[in-house]
Amino acid sequence: MKAWRNESSFPLAICAILAFLMTTLLVADDPVTLQHERMVADQIESRGIRNPDILRVMRSTPRHLFVPTNVRSMAYEDRPLPIGYRATISQPYIVALMTELLAPAKKHRVLEIGTGSGYQAAILGQLAAEVYTVEIVPELARSAAKTLRELGYTNITVRQGDGYKGWPERAPFDGIMVTAAPPELPEALITQLSRGGRLVAPIGSVWDQELIVIEKKADGTIKRRSVCPVSFVPMKPAGR
Ligand code: SAH
């Protein structure tokens, strides 16, 4: 009597089951994977971010590879982290919230001001067609470009320069995200926003900032709303 219709498939089935069990155990045992999963569930989903595409990229982007080795063990914690040169990588929830407010789409061209570690650019790059990102500190621009290249993000271009000027050669942008806080919204960025486009930025002084969303309507008029208080590193004035 045959329990298996095709006897040769028995060892194969056993191998497949063993491989599945080993992969499951390895993933469950990997502390980074566990912390990463928890970050999305406890910090992002639980605070109301529901967009499945944003949750997916927040789950799959290796945040620990964007931070210096001395803070790597804290990469998935509910906080911003220092990345050198008085810059910080934003708290994961703030990255997700700003991404949701910007609402990037697969056909969009997006500008980011304040590349920092390159992490926010990596998130945007997976949701938009092209990302252009400007960083004023040469060392950060260089290391972010290297990280993004090594991780295979091919649609993100990093430039060292002054974010107050935007990136006129690549304008207009469907979305602009500013990740350092200027005291007021730079005029050049509003000019470089396309009609129907959105801009998300922290605006204010070191102690008193609010996250704002600007929408440029089809007729060119600007609608501005405030979302919540935030705390970002100040945007360095031009020429400093
Ligand atoms: N988005 C980053 C975090 C940005 S922190 C990330 O995902 O890691 C803010 C960054 O803005 C810092 O790296 C800082 O050097 C940069 N910055 C400050 N003033 C700037 C300016 N005028 N133009 C461009 N970048 C600026």
Does residue 119 form part of some domain? yes
Please, is 87 exposed, middle or buried when counting C-beta atoms within 10 Å of its C-beta (0-12, 13-18, 19+)?
Answer: buried
215 within 8 A of 168, measured Cβ to Cβ: no
- 20, 26, 118, 130 from 124: Cα distances, Å: 33, 29, 10, 9
Residue 191 in any domain: the answer is yes
The best mutation among 137, 187, 192 to test binding of ligand 1, ranked by most ligand atoms within 8 Å of the C-beta, falls on: 137
**Is residue 3 situated within a structural domain?**
no
In this structure, are residues 168 and 192 in contact, taking their beta carbons and an 8 Å threshold?
yes
Residue 28 maps to a domain: no
- pLDDT for the residue 133: 98
Domain-embedded: residue 226? yes
For 40, the domain range is 33-230
| Count of domains forming the chain | 1
Contact 102, 93 (CB under 8 A): no
Please indicate, yes or no, if residue 122 is contained in any of the structural domains: yes
For residue 162, the CA-to-ligand 1 centroid distance in Å is 10
**CB of 127 sitting under 6 A from ligand 1:** no
| Strand ranges for 155-233 from DSSP E | 156-160, 173-178, 193-204, 209-216, 222-230
Alpha carbons within 13 A on the beta-carbon side of 184: 3
Phi–psi pair at 199, nearest 5 degrees: -125, 135
Would the CB of 143 count as within 6 Å of ligand 1?
no
Please identify which of the residues 8, 90, 205, 231 carries the catalytic annotation.
90
Catalytic residue flag (residue 60)? no
- Residue 204: what pLDDT? 97
Look up the CATH number of the domain holding residue 166: 3.40.50.150
Q: What is the pLDDT along the chain (240 residues), one digit of tens a residue?
A: 334 344 455 565 665 656 555 554 444 557 789 999 999 999 999 999 999 999 999 999 999 999 999 999 999 999 999 999 999 999 999 999 999 999 999 999 999 999 999 999 999 999 999 999 999 999 999 999 999 999 999 999 999 999 999 999 999 999 999 999 999 999 999 999 999 999 999 999 999 999 999 999 999 999 999 999 999 999 998 765
Check residue 18 and give its pLDDT. 60
Token reading at 89 = 């990588």
How distant is the alpha carbon of residue 163 from its chain centre?
Answer: 18
Q: Does ligand 1 have an atom closer than 6 angstroms to the CB of 119?
A: yes
In a domain, 197, yes or no: yes
Residue pair 133/152 in contact (Cβ under 8 Å)? The answer is no
Is 19 within a domain? no
Calpha distance 131→95 (Å, rounded): 15
Q: Which residues pair with 175 in a beta bridge?
A: 110, 198
